[in-house]
Structures are given as C-alpha cells and as structure tokens.
Structure 1
C-alpha cells in the first residue's frame, strides 16, 4: 500500500489488522515516515480547532515544523493538498447544523473496564462472567448477567457499565435512567457517568441537557474526557443559534 494512503487510513482510524502491523513497523524503523505521520497529525489537530484564527496561525508554523522530505517523492504537493482539504472540511463542518447521531457516533466509545481485573478460571462468578462478556462487546449478554447479580450485594459502579452497554445497544432511554441512578449514588465513577449522560441526551437532540451534563465534568480532578467534553461543548455552542 502507498505510504500516503496508509497515513490517511491511520488518521481516519480505518487501518486493518495487517495494515496496523505494517504501520507500526514503519513507525519504528523509518524516521522519515515517522516525521511525516507527526506532521499530518498536527494538521489534523489544527483542523479541529474551533477558533479559525488559531487554526490559521498554526498553519503558518508548519513551514518551520514540517519534516525534510525527499524531493522526488513530491510530498510538498501532497502536504499542501492535504492542508487545503482539511481546511475545507473544517470550514464546511462549522457551517453545518448539528447531526446528533453523527456527533454521538464520533464521540461514543463504550466505557473501559477500570473496576474488575479479569482472571479467567473455572467456576467464575457472575460478575466476572458479566465483565468478560462486556469486554468482548457482547453487551446483551453482559446486561443479562449484570441483572442476575444480587441487588443487595451489587456495587453501585455497575450502573456505569450498564449505562454504557445500553448506549452501545441503542437503548438510549434505558441508558439515561440507569446512568442518572448511578450519578445519584455518588459512587467513585459517578462523575464519569455525566459524560455518557451527555452523549445520551445528545443522541436525543436535547442540547440543553447535553451541555448541563458536560458542565459537570468541567474542572474535575478526574481527567476523564476533559478535553473531549470541552471540544464537544464548543462544537454544540458554535453550531446552535444564539438565544
């Protein structure tokens, strides 16, 4: 595969398993390729900036920061074309109305298991089996097992993972109910449920509630989704008409 195409697929998050291995090999062994990737990552990051002036200022710095490339490979032309394309995408996107489902899909990733280390042995208990199913993305099975747990002995943080699983299954109303209960519990992961609540309300097109939930993450000591919440808040605020 052409190196340019490989970088483009990497930036789009569309590398296959084989391509990912090839990409990692090049990153480790080819200094020039690594410099090219770093440069295009900077371009992509700049394209996401919400302040157009800041975006233009960053582009001006690329003459200094871009890697030294072999003339015969015509990378200068490729870089200029990519910057122009990303600039066009950026300007187009900020002028478009919000598409709740697209925005949800862009930001939603099921919660990672940070609560139960899995040691798979014979005679695993229901909780371990539930998390095993959860980590294998079989969310329906995970929810079934979560519901089989004794309510009096089930830790509150289960609600965090149940809410995430329900969102992954497009059961948004149920997810909101579960996540709100988890937030009310005051559990150590309750703050993180605000992020998934924000996404749930976003999917329903309730931007007011989305912004309220995102604001709960602001200034938190937990770094969880801090940057993403700021970015999403800015995108919603910029796209909505002024009151």
Structure 2
C-alpha cells in the first residue's frame, strides 16, 4: 500500500509539474517533463495490471502427494536443463510470469533474502518462466539472484503442469525499464504466460505443498513459506 500511495503522490506531482512546464516551456522544463512522466507511466502500468489481476485457476496437473513430472527447460546460456540433474534434491519449483513483472521480481528477491532458511531445510530454488534464455540470464544478473532461473519459451513445461495463463497482458523481459529497483515493461501485449505457482518437492520427487496466486499481485509471505518448509521437512 505504501508503494501504491507513493505512485499516486508521484503521479499528482508529475502532472502538476508537466502543467506548469507546458505553460512556460524552457530547456529545464522539458527535462522536468521527461522526469515527471515516469511515475505517471508506472501508475498506468500498475493500474492496467490491477484490472487483469485474476489468473484462471483449476487446471494444475499435480497435487500434494503426486510424483513430480519430468521437466526439460533451458538455462540462460542456452544449455538444456533436465529435472533429473537435481535428483535427490529438495526443490521449490517456482513458475513466474517473467523478468518484466515487478511482483515476480519482488518475490524472487524475497526468496534470495530467505536463502538461509532454504539452506537450513536443504531446499534449492528453481524458477521458470517463458522468457527467452537471454532475458532469463539478464534477469538473474539484474536482480543478483543465485536461484536457478530457467527458460521455457514455448511454454511446454508450463502447459504440461497446467499453469498457463492463456491470454494475459504482459511485457518483454529483454526490454523492461528498471525504476526504484523494480522492472517495468516498456511494451505490453496480450500473450500466454505462467500463472504464479510454487511447488515444494521433497528429495524423493514427491509434491509436498502447492501455492497458486489467486491474484497476480499477491504471493505467499515469508511466514507462510517458512511454515510450509517446516511442515514438509521437520520430523
């Protein structure tokens, strides 16, 4: 809410600055208009996201107690990843919308802050979107993530798991603009993408916990995720 309040305040200040700049145009005022447009642009992006915040749920193909399905995806460097590469490893499999999504960025950064907790339970983060491999690599570098970020550009894994949002308004991870430490898409279009979904898998490949976002703006809190880890992996 604080961030949204800042956006609203910034937009009001920005529109006021643009109004006075237009009335008395100078070189300085042109620069001011350019800077003032950023909070307005960010507000438009967030408002548009709010209107389309409910993903279609109910098609997920795994449930708690199931054996995890095979996964073949692509590393940021273009090499092939297979889930068998992590056989015997506890995993939090995270399907996310893309590098352009500020909510996904905040969630993956939260995972990074929680790294000591994940390490205590010997859980590895594997995050997957339909970004191109190069966009996934840039995302990892931009947000300084140590998670394994995978690319599923043709949505094969996303469809296999039944977590596809068939038509949602989204951006391009390769051309996102970073403001206040968060990505904001500069180009938006309707396209398929993943529904934000977290799947906790034990060392035997069994699903222990599933969390899907009923609203793309809202994700599991650190407290909820920590509780899920304790419940799954504490004897």
TM-score by length of 2: 0.29
- State the structure with more CA Rg: 1
Which structure has the higher relative contact order (CA within 8 Å, separation 6+)?
2
TM-score by length of 1: 0.28
Question: Which has a greater percent of helix?
Answer: 1
